[in-house]
Protein backbone atom coordinates (compact mmCIF):
# COMPACT_ATOMS: atom_id res chain seq x y z
CA UNK A 1 0.00 0.00 0.00
CA UNK A 2 1.13 3.53 -0.76
CA UNK A 3 2.77 5.22 2.26
CA UNK A 4 0.66 8.30 1.54
CA UNK A 5 -2.59 6.32 1.67
CA UNK A 6 -1.47 4.55 4.83
CA UNK A 7 -0.72 7.93 6.41
CA UNK A 8 -4.12 9.25 5.32
CA UNK A 9 -6.05 6.30 6.77
CA UNK A 10 -3.99 5.41 9.86
CA UNK A 11 -6.39 5.04 12.82
CA UNK A 12 -8.96 7.06 10.88
CA UNK A 13 -12.14 5.12 11.75
CA UNK A 14 -13.85 5.39 15.11
CA UNK A 15 -16.15 2.38 15.10
CA UNK A 16 -19.74 3.48 15.75
CA UNK A 17 -21.62 0.22 15.28
CA UNK A 18 -24.20 1.20 17.92
CA UNK A 19 -25.45 4.06 15.77
CA UNK A 20 -27.60 4.35 12.60
CA UNK A 21 -27.85 3.04 10.05
CA UNK A 22 -26.26 -0.12 11.51
CA UNK A 23 -27.83 0.38 14.97
CA UNK A 24 -26.33 -2.82 16.36
CA UNK A 25 -26.97 -4.00 19.88
CA UNK A 26 -24.08 -3.62 22.27
CA UNK A 27 -23.05 -7.28 22.18
CA UNK A 28 -22.40 -7.59 18.42
CA UNK A 29 -20.95 -4.09 18.26
CA UNK A 30 -18.30 -4.58 20.97
CA UNK A 31 -17.50 -8.06 19.66
CA UNK A 32 -17.03 -6.64 16.17
CA UNK A 33 -14.64 -4.03 17.53
CA UNK A 34 -12.60 -6.61 19.45
CA UNK A 35 -12.42 -8.81 16.33
CA UNK A 36 -11.45 -5.93 14.02
CA UNK A 37 -8.48 -5.20 16.30
CA UNK A 38 -7.00 -8.55 15.32
CA UNK A 39 -7.49 -8.21 11.57
CA UNK A 40 -4.90 -7.07 9.04
CA UNK A 41 -6.62 -3.71 8.62
CA UNK A 42 -6.54 -2.94 12.34
CA UNK A 43 -4.13 -0.09 11.56
CA UNK A 44 -7.15 1.83 10.15
CA UNK A 45 -9.15 1.39 13.35
CA UNK A 46 -9.20 3.89 16.19
CA UNK A 47 -11.68 3.95 19.09
CA UNK A 48 -15.03 2.34 19.90
CA UNK A 49 -17.68 5.03 20.30
CA UNK A 50 -19.86 4.27 23.30
CA UNK A 51 -22.50 6.41 25.03
CA UNK A 52 -21.61 7.14 28.63
CA UNK A 53 -24.93 5.63 29.66
CA UNK A 54 -23.90 2.24 28.21
CA UNK A 55 -20.45 1.95 29.79
CA UNK A 56 -21.75 0.03 32.79
CA UNK A 57 -23.25 -2.58 30.44
CA UNK A 58 -19.73 -3.53 29.33
CA UNK A 59 -19.00 -5.13 32.71
CA UNK A 60 -19.86 -8.60 31.34
CA UNK A 61 -16.99 -8.41 28.82
CA UNK A 62 -14.22 -7.75 31.34
CA UNK A 63 -12.73 -11.24 31.36
CA UNK A 64 -13.55 -12.22 27.78
CA UNK A 65 -12.65 -9.11 25.79
CA UNK A 66 -10.95 -6.57 28.02
CA UNK A 67 -7.88 -8.68 28.71
CA UNK A 68 -6.63 -7.96 25.18
CA UNK A 69 -3.46 -5.96 24.67
CA UNK A 70 -3.13 -3.12 23.97
CA UNK A 71 -6.13 -1.89 25.99
CA UNK A 72 -9.43 -1.35 24.18
CA UNK A 73 -9.83 2.33 23.35
CA UNK A 74 -13.10 4.18 23.82
CA UNK A 75 -14.48 7.53 22.77
CA UNK A 76 -17.28 8.27 25.20
CA UNK A 77 -20.34 10.04 23.84
CA UNK A 78 -21.84 12.43 26.34
CA UNK A 79 -25.54 13.02 26.72
CA UNK A 80 -25.37 16.71 25.91
CA UNK A 81 -28.29 18.90 26.95
CA UNK A 82 -30.80 21.46 25.74
CA UNK A 83 -29.44 24.19 28.01
CA UNK A 84 -26.06 25.05 29.47
CA UNK A 85 -27.16 23.96 32.94
CA UNK A 86 -28.66 20.74 31.59
CA UNK A 87 -25.51 20.03 29.61
CA UNK A 88 -23.28 20.45 32.67
CA UNK A 89 -25.59 18.37 34.86
CA UNK A 90 -25.55 15.55 32.31
CA UNK A 91 -21.79 15.93 31.92
CA UNK A 92 -21.33 15.36 35.64
CA UNK A 93 -23.22 12.09 35.25
CA UNK A 94 -21.07 11.19 32.24
CA UNK A 95 -17.91 11.73 34.28
CA UNK A 96 -19.27 9.53 37.07
CA UNK A 97 -19.92 6.79 34.51
CA UNK A 98 -16.40 7.06 33.10
CA UNK A 99 -14.82 6.97 36.56
CA UNK A 100 -16.85 3.86 37.41
CA UNK A 101 -15.74 2.32 34.10
CA UNK A 102 -12.10 2.84 35.02
CA UNK A 103 -12.69 1.51 38.53
CA UNK A 104 -14.18 -1.67 37.06
CA UNK A 105 -11.64 -2.25 34.30
CA UNK A 106 -8.50 -0.31 35.18
CA UNK A 107 -5.57 -0.69 32.82
CA UNK A 108 -7.53 -2.89 30.40
CA UNK A 109 -9.40 0.07 28.89
CA UNK A 110 -8.56 3.58 27.71
CA UNK A 111 -11.40 6.08 27.57
CA UNK A 112 -9.14 8.76 26.14
CA UNK A 113 -11.67 10.70 24.05
CA UNK A 114 -14.95 12.43 24.81
CA UNK A 115 -17.47 13.94 22.43
CA UNK A 116 -20.76 15.73 22.91
CA UNK A 117 -23.14 18.12 21.20
CA UNK A 118 -23.37 21.53 22.84
CA UNK A 119 -26.72 23.24 23.48
CA UNK A 120 -27.84 25.77 20.90
CA UNK A 121 -28.50 28.84 23.05
CA UNK A 122 -24.87 29.99 23.54
CA UNK A 123 -24.21 29.74 19.81
CA UNK A 124 -27.47 31.38 18.76
CA UNK A 125 -26.54 34.39 20.86
CA UNK A 126 -23.50 34.84 18.56
CA UNK A 127 -21.48 35.29 21.73
CA UNK A 128 -18.29 33.31 21.32
CA UNK A 129 -17.34 34.07 24.91
CA UNK A 130 -20.44 32.33 26.27
CA UNK A 131 -19.52 29.21 24.29
CA UNK A 132 -15.94 29.27 25.55
CA UNK A 133 -17.20 29.86 29.10
CA UNK A 134 -19.36 26.74 28.77
CA UNK A 135 -16.33 24.82 27.53
CA UNK A 136 -14.34 26.04 30.53
CA UNK A 137 -17.06 24.81 32.89
CA UNK A 138 -17.09 21.50 31.00
CA UNK A 139 -13.31 21.20 31.36
CA UNK A 140 -13.59 21.75 35.10
CA UNK A 141 -16.18 18.97 35.27
CA UNK A 142 -14.04 16.66 33.13
CA UNK A 143 -10.96 17.33 35.25
CA UNK A 144 -11.08 14.10 37.29
CA UNK A 145 -10.82 11.95 34.15
CA UNK A 146 -8.60 14.21 32.05
CA UNK A 147 -5.33 13.88 33.93
CA UNK A 148 -4.03 11.09 31.71
CA UNK A 149 -4.94 12.88 28.50
CA UNK A 150 -8.42 13.34 27.06
CA UNK A 151 -9.26 14.42 23.52
CA UNK A 152 -12.53 16.38 23.62
CA UNK A 153 -14.61 17.10 20.53
CA UNK A 154 -17.69 19.29 20.64
CA UNK A 155 -20.43 19.30 18.02
CA UNK A 156 -22.42 22.43 17.18
CA UNK A 157 -26.22 22.19 17.30
CA UNK A 158 -28.00 21.34 14.03
CA UNK A 159 -28.98 24.03 11.55
CA UNK A 160 -25.82 26.15 11.77
CA UNK A 161 -24.81 28.24 8.78
CA UNK A 162 -21.22 28.99 7.79
CA UNK A 163 -21.07 32.08 10.01
CA UNK A 164 -22.28 30.13 13.04
CA UNK A 165 -19.74 27.38 12.41
CA UNK A 166 -16.99 30.01 12.25
CA UNK A 167 -18.18 31.48 15.57
CA UNK A 168 -18.14 28.00 17.05
CA UNK A 169 -14.61 27.28 15.83
CA UNK A 170 -13.39 30.62 17.13
CA UNK A 171 -14.98 30.00 20.53
CA UNK A 172 -13.21 26.64 20.79
CA UNK A 173 -9.92 28.32 19.85
CA UNK A 174 -10.49 31.01 22.50
CA UNK A 175 -11.11 28.32 25.09
CA UNK A 176 -7.97 26.43 24.03
CA UNK A 177 -5.83 29.55 24.40
CA UNK A 178 -7.20 30.25 27.87
CA UNK A 179 -7.44 26.68 29.12
CA UNK A 180 -4.65 24.64 27.60
CA UNK A 181 -4.89 21.72 30.03
CA UNK A 182 -7.89 20.15 28.26
CA UNK A 183 -7.88 21.42 24.66
CA UNK A 184 -10.99 20.86 22.56
CA UNK A 185 -11.73 20.12 18.93
CA UNK A 186 -14.63 20.52 16.51
CA UNK A 187 -16.93 17.60 15.67
CA UNK A 188 -18.72 18.04 12.35
CA UNK A 189 -21.74 15.95 11.38
CA UNK A 190 -21.44 15.03 7.70
CA UNK A 191 -24.53 12.89 7.20
CA UNK A 192 -27.61 11.26 8.63
CA UNK A 193 -30.62 9.13 7.85
CA UNK A 194 -32.50 12.03 6.19
CA UNK A 195 -31.36 14.13 3.20
CA UNK A 196 -31.62 17.30 5.27
CA UNK A 197 -29.00 15.98 7.68
CA UNK A 198 -26.31 16.02 4.98
CA UNK A 199 -24.48 19.36 4.91
CA UNK A 200 -23.68 20.93 1.55
CA UNK A 201 -20.10 20.73 0.32
CA UNK A 202 -19.85 24.50 0.77
CA UNK A 203 -20.75 24.18 4.45
CA UNK A 204 -18.24 21.38 5.06
CA UNK A 205 -15.60 23.46 3.27
CA UNK A 206 -16.43 26.46 5.44
CA UNK A 207 -16.07 24.38 8.61
CA UNK A 208 -12.73 22.93 7.50
CA UNK A 209 -11.38 26.37 6.59
CA UNK A 210 -12.63 27.92 9.84
CA UNK A 211 -11.00 25.22 11.98
CA UNK A 212 -7.78 25.43 10.00
CA UNK A 213 -7.67 29.20 10.39
CA UNK A 214 -7.89 29.03 14.19
CA UNK A 215 -5.78 25.86 14.45
CA UNK A 216 -8.17 23.49 16.15
CA UNK A 217 -8.49 19.75 15.36
CA UNK A 218 -11.57 18.24 13.73
CA UNK A 219 -13.32 14.92 13.69
CA UNK A 220 -16.30 13.94 11.56
CA UNK A 221 -19.31 11.73 12.05
CA UNK A 222 -22.06 10.09 10.00
CA UNK A 223 -22.44 9.45 6.30
CA UNK A 224 -18.81 8.65 5.49
CA UNK A 225 -19.09 4.91 4.81
CA UNK A 226 -17.75 5.20 1.27
CA UNK A 227 -14.49 6.68 -0.04
CA UNK A 228 -15.78 9.00 -2.77
CA UNK A 229 -18.78 11.32 -3.00
CA UNK A 230 -21.72 9.53 -4.58
CA UNK A 231 -25.46 9.50 -5.01
CA UNK A 232 -27.55 7.40 -2.65
CA UNK A 233 -30.73 6.34 -4.46
CA UNK A 234 -32.45 5.11 -1.30
CA UNK A 235 -31.83 8.39 0.49
CA UNK A 236 -32.31 10.51 -2.61
CA UNK A 237 -29.23 12.61 -1.91
CA UNK A 238 -25.52 12.94 -2.53
CA UNK A 239 -23.34 11.63 0.27
CA UNK A 240 -19.85 12.74 1.23
CA UNK A 241 -16.83 10.49 0.74
CA UNK A 242 -14.16 10.01 3.38
CA UNK A 243 -11.37 10.43 0.83
CA UNK A 244 -12.92 13.73 -0.26
CA UNK A 245 -13.21 14.97 3.31
CA UNK A 246 -9.77 13.93 4.51
CA UNK A 247 -7.94 14.94 1.33
CA UNK A 248 -9.69 18.32 1.61
CA UNK A 249 -8.51 18.58 5.21
CA UNK A 250 -4.94 17.67 4.28
CA UNK A 251 -4.89 20.18 1.40
CA UNK A 252 -6.37 22.87 3.64
CA UNK A 253 -3.59 22.23 6.14
CA UNK A 254 -0.72 21.98 3.66
CA UNK A 255 -1.75 24.39 0.90
CA UNK A 256 -4.02 26.73 2.84
CA UNK A 257 -6.86 26.13 0.37
CA UNK A 258 -9.96 28.25 0.88
CA UNK A 259 -13.69 27.65 0.43
CA UNK A 260 -14.10 27.40 -3.34
CA UNK A 261 -11.10 25.12 -3.80
CA UNK A 262 -12.10 22.96 -0.84
CA UNK A 263 -15.66 22.71 -2.17
CA UNK A 264 -14.25 21.40 -5.45
CA UNK A 265 -12.40 18.62 -3.61
CA UNK A 266 -15.44 17.72 -1.51
CA UNK A 267 -17.77 17.60 -4.53
CA UNK A 268 -15.45 15.55 -6.77
CA UNK A 269 -17.08 12.22 -7.73
CA UNK A 270 -14.16 10.97 -9.83
CA UNK A 271 -12.31 8.31 -7.84
CA UNK A 272 -9.38 8.55 -10.24
CA UNK A 273 -8.76 12.12 -9.08
CA UNK A 274 -7.40 10.67 -5.83
CA UNK A 275 -4.05 8.99 -6.52
CA UNK A 276 -1.53 7.51 -4.09
CA UNK A 277 2.06 6.66 -5.00
CA UNK A 278 5.14 5.69 -3.03
CA UNK A 279 6.08 9.36 -2.78
CA UNK A 280 2.87 11.41 -2.82
CA UNK A 281 -0.81 11.82 -2.26
CA UNK A 282 -1.90 13.31 -5.58
CA UNK A 283 -5.11 15.26 -6.13
CA UNK A 284 -5.45 17.04 -9.47
CA UNK A 285 -2.59 19.55 -9.47
CA UNK A 286 -1.66 19.08 -5.80
CA UNK A 287 0.94 16.72 -4.34
CA UNK A 288 1.53 16.00 -0.65
CA UNK A 289 4.30 13.87 0.86
CA UNK A 290 3.42 11.06 3.29
CA UNK A 291 5.15 13.04 6.04
CA UNK A 292 2.92 16.06 5.45
CA UNK A 293 -0.17 13.85 5.25
CA UNK A 294 0.75 12.32 8.60
CA UNK A 295 1.27 15.75 10.14
CA UNK A 296 -2.12 17.00 8.89
CA UNK A 297 -3.83 13.92 10.28
CA UNK A 298 -2.09 14.19 13.64
CA UNK A 299 -2.72 17.91 14.09
CA UNK A 300 -5.89 18.68 12.19
CA UNK A 301 -8.20 16.03 10.67
CA UNK A 302 -8.22 13.32 13.30
CA UNK A 303 -10.85 10.66 12.59
CA UNK A 304 -14.41 9.92 11.53
CA UNK A 305 -17.13 7.87 13.15
CA UNK A 306 -18.53 5.07 11.01
CA UNK A 307 -21.13 2.46 11.91
CA UNK A 308 -19.34 0.07 9.54
CA UNK A 309 -15.70 -0.95 9.43
CA UNK A 310 -16.34 -3.35 6.54
CA UNK A 311 -17.87 -1.01 3.95
CA UNK A 312 -14.96 1.45 3.85
CA UNK A 313 -12.50 -1.41 3.38
CA UNK A 314 -14.60 -3.16 0.75
CA UNK A 315 -14.86 0.04 -1.26
CA UNK A 316 -11.12 0.66 -1.04
CA UNK A 317 -10.59 -2.85 -2.39
CA UNK A 318 -13.00 -2.17 -5.26
CA UNK A 319 -10.99 0.96 -6.12
CA UNK A 320 -7.74 -1.03 -6.11
CA UNK A 321 -6.41 0.86 -3.10
CA UNK A 322 -6.32 -2.01 -0.60
What pLDDT does residue 94 have?
Answer: 98
What pLDDT does residue 91 have?
Answer: 98
**C-beta of residue 242 within 8 angstroms of C-beta of residue 282:** no
* pTM (2 d.p.): 0.96
What pLDDT does residue 102 have?
Answer: 94
pLDDT digits (tens, 9 = 90+) for 204-223: 999 999 999 999 999 999 99
The domains found in the chain, sorted by start residue, are 3-318 (3.20.20.70)
Rounded to whole angstroms, the Cα distance separating 161 from 163 reads 5
**C-beta of residue 134 within 8 angstroms of C-beta of residue 184:** no
What pLDDT does residue 147 have?
Answer: 80
- Which regions of the chain are under pLDDT 70? 126-129
| CB neighbour list of residue 157: distance below 8 Å, 6 or more residues apart | 117, 118, 119, 120, 123
Beta strands in 19-160 (DSSP E): 45-51, 72-77, 109-117, 151-155
Please give the distance of CA 154 from its chain centroid, rounded to a whole number: 10
**C-beta of residue 2 within 8 angstroms of C-beta of residue 276:** yes
What pLDDT does residue 129 have?
Answer: 67
What pLDDT does residue 127 have?
Answer: 57
What pLDDT does residue 178 have?
Answer: 86
pLDDT digits (tens, 9 = 90+) for 69-107: 899 999 999 999 999 999 999 999 999 999 999 999 988
Q: State which H helix or E strand residue 127 sits in.
A: none
CB atoms within 10 A of CB 37: 16
- Annotate 207-245 with b (16+ C-beta within 10 A) or e (fewer): bbbbbbebebbbbbbbbbbbbbbeeeeebebbbbbbbbb
What pLDDT does residue 14 have?
Answer: 99
Task: Report the DSSP beta bridge partners of residue 77.
Answer: 51, 115
Rounded to whole angstroms, the Cα distance separating 138 from 29 reads 29
What pLDDT does residue 57 have?
Answer: 97
DSSP characters over 99-114: HHHHHHHGGGEEEEEE
**Cβ neighbourhood burial of 34 (10 Å; 0-12, 13-18, 19+):** middle
Amino acid sequence: MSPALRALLHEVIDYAGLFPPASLDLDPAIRNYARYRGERDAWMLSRFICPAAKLALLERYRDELFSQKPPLRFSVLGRGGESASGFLENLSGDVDAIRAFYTAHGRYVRADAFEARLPGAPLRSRDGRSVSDLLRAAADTLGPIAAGGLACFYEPPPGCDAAALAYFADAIATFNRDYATTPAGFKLRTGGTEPGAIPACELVAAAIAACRDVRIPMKFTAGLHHPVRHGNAELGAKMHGFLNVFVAGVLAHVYNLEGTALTAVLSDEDAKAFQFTDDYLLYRTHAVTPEDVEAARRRFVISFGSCSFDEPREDLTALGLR
